[in-house]
Structure 1
Amino acid sequence: MSIVAWIVVGLIAGWIANMIMSSGAGGLVADLVLGVLGAMLGGFLLGVVTGVDYTTGINIPTILVSIGGAVILIGVYRMLSGTRLRS
């Protein structure tokens, strides 16, 4: 998958993960960065576990895997930074 596709999938994943996690403490740029990194993390981890390449382009399975990676990354970010949900 090209770098442009990674960025597009990461942007989609970051936005959806932001909605799921009710994030927002880091702002738009942080959510997008976490989305792109989450896309890479999710694709890598699921590929290692299942042996299947989920980084084949912009499609539903790739986006779902990327959202999972972004949610994990946002959770780790919150644990390390001490950020809490807004009330």
Structure 2
Amino acid sequence: MLGLSIIGWIVIGGLAGWIGSKIMKTDESMGIIANIVVGVVGGLIGGGILSLLNRDVEGGGWIFSFLTCLLGACILLFLVKKVMGRSRA
């Protein structure tokens, strides 16, 4: 994941954030910048989790990087929904 260029991070992060927001049903409240941020942060979260499981994160290629970002984005959005749901109560 760290081997990607900044443009690669933005493209993969944006796509992963957008698809993750569709999966987690948060797309209505997010814009393109938020999708990119969620995808990139999701990539860090997903990469961290997979590294803890002894998976080679950097050598996986574009598809593996995208799936890593998507996994992390869904986890991040799930946690944000839980925190935001509690603060409204």
Q: TM-score scaled by structure 2?
A: 0.76
**Residue 60 of structure 1: aligned partner:** 63
User: In the alignment, residue 58 of structure 2 is paired with which amino acid?
Assistant: T
Q: Name the counterpart of 1:22.
A: 25
Aligned match for 2:54, one of 44, 50, 54: 50
The aligned counterpart of 2:15 is 12
Partners in 1 of 2:28 and 2:47 — Cα distance? 25
Give the number of aligned pairs. 82
Q: Structure 2 regions of 5+ residues with no counterpart?
A: none
* Residues 9-18 or 30-39, more deviating: 30-39
TM-score normalised over the length of structure 1: 0.77
4+ long deviations beyond 4 Å? none
Task: Say if 2:16 and 2:73, in contact at 8 Å, map to a contact too.
Answer: yes
> What SS class does the counterpart of residue 59 from structure 1 fall into?
helix
Identity %: 34
